Amino acid sequence: MSEPDTIVVLYGGVSAEREVSLKSGEAIAAALAEKYPVELLRLDAAELPDSIDPERMIVFPALHGSFGEDGELQSLMEARGVEYCGSDAAASRVCMSKEVTKQLAKELGVQVPESMFFDGASAPLADDVIKQLGTSLVLKPTDQGSSVGLFFTEHRSALGVALCQIDSGNWMIERRIRGRELTVGLLDGRAMGVVEILSASGVYDYKAKYTLGATEYQFPAQLDAGITARIQREAEAIFKACGCRDFARIDFLLEGDVPYFLEVNTLPGLTATSLLPKSASCEGYDFPALADELVRPALSRFAAKGGAT
């Protein structure tokens, strides 16, 4: 079986999630290095490095946000004939848009929070939003992750102030679901363990995600077996409908016994303590074993096209 000379882990990048990516890249590179030759390559510009040779290398893009998860990097790799881990350019573009993924979920019969979408250059009036969605709301970009730009509002005045601060980008407002925060990892389209996120503040924002001790996690989540099975089944259906491949992480909120789909993360955080590894640990994978599973499909694609021997 032909194998690449090197797995190149791209990390860093140019998005607001660069710091998260630096940690993911270092962690996944260290785990892969237990079994494979690895090169850790930091991206400081939105371009594919010339040093990547499609005949000798595959790429693990440990990147988040723009020029990572949005399909741009994937398009460049496809044009150059580079095999890489994770979803292809088309699926990455789909999943980067919360508007598109929510519509696909609705078409599958999956529950999603009521929401509205707008261009930051023409933000709606607070009164119009409240008339449609109520006063308890979540405001966030449609194409960012790691809770970048996330706002919670409970009053008209706070919503008005938040909307006045927006003048660009793609945004959404949705009815706030006051329920249990859940996420599930998928390997090759198969859902693994459901993880419950227990934020001390009650809000799983950027601070809660990346401040030591601010959040606890329960994995597997203590749920009725039927609810667990429903979340896993819906996650698998969404993964397939979005055209994802290899791996992803899908987030839900549970209100009562109804799971509401939130978003697909095609390149989720990949430190040993990130959510995807927690989900995988429910299936018996430690971090190095998970890293091996994450690269296997790309290695198979490389072999199938007759790469290096």
34-72 pLDDT, tens per residue?
A: 999 999 999 999 999 999 999 999 999 999 888 999 999
* Lookup: tokens for 153: 């509002």
Question: Residue 240: helix, strand or coil by DSSP?
Answer: helix
The single residue of 120, 199, 210, 243 carrying the catalytic annotation is 210
Active site residue 249: yes
For the cut 70, the answer to whether the pLDDT of residue 191 exceeds it is yes
For the cut 90, the answer to whether the pLDDT of residue 100 exceeds it is yes
The mean pLDDT value of the chain amounts to 91
Active site residue 251: yes
Active site residue 204: no
How many Å apart are CA 131 and CA 150, to the nearest integer?
Answer: 21
The single residue of 249, 260, 281, 285 carrying the catalytic annotation is 249
The single residue of 143, 181, 246, 263 carrying the catalytic annotation is 263
The percentage of residues in the chain with a pLDDT greater than 90, rounded to a whole number, is: 73
For the cut 50, the answer to whether the pLDDT of residue 146 exceeds it is no
Active site residue 17: yes
Active site residue 3: no
* DSSP E strands, the chain: 6-12, 38-43, 57-61, 83-84, 115-119, 137-141, 151-153, 170-175, 180-187, 190-199, 215-218, 247-255, 258-265
pTM: 0.89
The single residue of 13, 269, 274, 279 carrying the catalytic annotation is 269
Structural domains in the chain, CATH included, are 6-86 (3.40.50.20), 94-111+178-287 (3.30.470.20), 115-175 (3.30.1490.20)
Please report how the helices 98-107 and 89-96 are oriented relative to each other, as an axis angle in degrees rounded to 10: 90
Active site residue 189: no
The single residue of 87, 176, 251, 307 carrying the catalytic annotation is 251
The single residue of 11, 13, 17, 72 carrying the catalytic annotation is 17
* Lookup: tokens for 27: 């962690």
Least confident of 28-42, 172-186, 203-217, 240-254: 203-217
